[in-house]
Structure 1
Amino acid sequence: MFKSLSKDLLKNDDKEYFYVYLHDIDAIAHAKGNQSEEFKIVMGNLFKNLDRFYEEGKDKFSNTAIIISADHGQIDIDLKNPYYINKLIPDIEKYLKKNKNNDIMSPAGYCRDLFLHVEEKYLIELKTILEKELYEIAQVYLFEDLKDKGLFGVPSEKLLERVGNLVILPKENNTVWWYEKDIFEVTFLGMHGGASKEEMEIPFLFYMFK
C-alpha cells in the first residue's frame, strides 16, 4: 500500500489529496483487543512501513504534507460480564416508544454508548430506575442535557430526528447493551463510543516534506 502511495505521489506535480484508511488496525483491535500480541504486531508493521515510507521519500517528495490521525480511540472491555438492560429490567419495553407496527424502537449506539427512545411521559421515571440499577456500572443522561453541554457539537437535523432521548455511558471497561440472541449482543473485545479518555483522545501527527 505504501509503495503504491509513493508512486502516486511522484506521478506529477498537480495539487492532489490522498486519503488512506488502514482497516487492519481497527479490525484487530475490535477482535483481539489493543493489549493483544496481534495488535502489537499490526502496529509494529505500521511503524516499520511508515519508517520505510519516510526514508524512501524524504529526498523525493516535495511540498507534501502528511497527516496521520484516527477517527476514534479504543478500550478493551469486560467481555465476560456484559450488562443487558432488558434482562436487568424485564419490563423495560413498557417505557419505550413504539413504531407504527407497535414494535419497540430499537436501541441505538452500542455497548459503550446506548441510546434509548423513551416515551416522554416515562423519561424521568426510567432515568431514575436506570440510575439505581446501574449505579456502579454506568452514567445515565438525558440527550438534551448532553446536547446543551456541546457534546454533539452543532447537531444535524438528521441526528435530531433519529437519536434517542436517554443515553447510557458505561464507566471504566463495563458495557451496557440490549440482548436478543444473534441480533443484539456484545461480541467485540475492543470497543469505542464511550466517554473514557482512551476512547475519546486520538493522535494527530503532521509532517511536511519540503
Structure 2
Amino acid sequence: MLPAAFSTPVSLATVLPSSLAALSGERNDLGLPALDHVVVVVVDGLGAAALRARAGHARALAPLLGKATTIDAGFPTTTAAALTTLTTGTSPGRHGMVGYRVRDDAGRLTNQLSGWDDLMPPESWQRSRTVFEDAAAQGVHARAIGLPKYEGSGFTAAVLRGAEFTGGRTMQDRFDLGAEVLRTSGPALTYLYVAELDQLAHARGWESPEWTAALETLDSLVAAFVRGLGPRQAVLLTADHGIVDVPESGHVLFDTAPSLLEGVAAIAGEPRFLHLYAEQPEQVDRIAGRWREVEGDRSWVATRAEAIAAGWFGPVIDAEVGPRIGDVLVAARKRIAYYDSRDAARTGRTMIGQHGSLTPEETRVPLLRFGAAA
C-alpha cells in the first residue's frame, strides 16, 4: 500500500491562510486569535526529527516541540513544491510545482528553482494565487524577507508575488529586518526565510557540528526576536521539509541495472524522488513493474495514476498539471539516493543531507508558536 501525503488536517498549506485570517479577526484552522502582526519564520530543512535529536542545542525551540506542534509538509518534500504550498495554501496538484526538476510544456527537463524563462514563465506556471496577493487585496501589508540574491528571481516571482521583498545577507540581518517590521503599524503579514540550515545539511549533513552550530544561532536569534513581541503580535516557526543524511554507500547507481532504463525517455526529480518519463504510454506499467521488482524493498514505486489516487500531490484537476508528473515515480524509503553513474559531472553526489521523499523524517516539520499565538 502506498503512503498518503497531507495525512493530517493541519499542514503547511494551512499556515499562511490562517495567519491572514487572524489579521482580520476571523476563525482559522490554527485557532489563532485576532492579531495585528504575524511573522512566519520558515527554516529551510528543519525537520521535526532533527530538531528533536538536537534538542539540547535549541533551548528556545525544542521545549515547544510535541505531537501537537508538528505538521505535514506535504509532498514532494522539496523546496520548490513545499514553499509554494506554504505561500499559496494549495497543494502541488493545484499550484503545479510538482517537483524539483520536471518536464515542462516544451518537453525539457527544467529546474523549478532556477530554470525560469519565457517557455516556463513564473506568473503562469505557478497556477495558484498567493496568500500575499490576498493580503494586499485586504489592505494587509505583506512582506517577504530573504536572501538578497533571490530578489527578482523567477522562483520569487512565482511563489512570493504580492509581497514586498527585502534582502538580508545573514540570519541576523533577516531577524533585524523582522524586528523593524514589528515596530510598524499593522495589520502586517511577514514571511522570514532562513536558508542556512538546509545549505549546511546538503554540504555537511544535519548530524554535523556545522549544522548544530547553525541551529544554535537560529535558536538564540528566535529567542531574542520573540522577546520583542507586542500584545497582538505573533511568530509562527515552521519548515518546508526535513532532511535525511545519506552516506555515499547509500548511493544507488540505477544505470548499472539496464532493465530499469528500458522504455524510459527521461529521468527528472531529485535523488530521493525520481520522475520517470516513458517513451510510450503503453510502457508505463512495465517500467513500474521492473522498478518494483528491483527497488521495491527500499522505495515506493507508483505510476502517475496510482500516486494521484493515493493523494501524493493533493487533487490534480487541471489538465496542464498532470503531464508534469512523471509517468512512474520512485520515492526512497531507506537511507538511499538515486544517481546515474554516466553523469560525468557527478551532479549532486557530494550532497550528504537530502530530501524529497515520503518518510516521516522528511515530511514532518515543526509548527512552533510564540507571542499572542502561543
Q: Is the 8 A contact 1:65 1:208 kept in 2?
A: yes
Pair member with larger Rg: 1
Q: Is the 8 A contact 2:253 2:338 kept in 1?
A: yes
Q: Which runs of 5+ in 2 are unaligned?
A: 1-172
Q: Which one-letter code corresponds to 1:67 in the other structure?
A: L
* Count of aligned pairs: 197
Structure 1 residue ranges (4+ consecutive) displaced by more than 4 angstroms after TM superposition? none
- Deviation, 1:13, is 1.6
Q: Which one-letter code corresponds to 2:219 in the other structure?
A: F
1:41 corresponds to which residue?
Answer: 213
CA RMSD of aligned residues (A): 2.1
Q: Which one-letter code corresponds to 1:128 in the other structure?
A: G
TM-score, structure 1 as length reference: 0.84
2:192 pairs with one of 16, 20, 24? 20
Q: Which stretch of the first structure deviates more once superposed, 125-134 or 163-172?
A: 125-134
Q: Is the 8 A contact 2:234 2:371 kept in 1?
A: yes
1:8 corresponds to which residue?
Answer: 181
- Tell me the secondary structure at the aligned position of residue 13 of structure 1: coil
1:101 corresponds to which residue?
Answer: none
Counterpart mapping for 1:1-210 below 5 A = 1=173, 2-10=175-183, 12-55=184-227, 57-58=228-229, 61-89=230-258, 92=261, 94-96=262-264, 104-105=265-266, 107-118=267-278, 119-155=280-316, 156-179=318-341, 180-182=343-345, 184-209=347-372
- Deviation, 1:178, is 3.2
Q: Is the 8 A contact 2:246 2:335 kept in 1?
A: yes
Q: Percent identity?
A: 20
- Deviation, 1:48, is 0.9
Choose between structure 1 and 2 for higher RCO, CA contacts under 8 A separated by at least 6 residues: 1
For 2:237 and 2:370, the matched residues in 1 are separated by 9
TM-score, structure 2 as length reference: 0.49
For 1:81 and 1:13, the matched residues in 2 are separated by 52
- Tell me the secondary structure at the aligned position of residue 117 of structure 1: strand
For 2:353 and 2:209, the matched residues in 1 are separated by 14
- Tell me the secondary structure at the aligned position of residue 198 of structure 1: helix
- Superposed CA offset, 1:88-128 (max 9, x none): 22672x402xxxxxxx33x1211111010112222222222
For 1:185 and 1:20, the matched residues in 2 are separated by 27
Q: Is the 8 A contact 1:77 1:190 kept in 2?
A: yes
- Deviation, 1:18, is 1.3
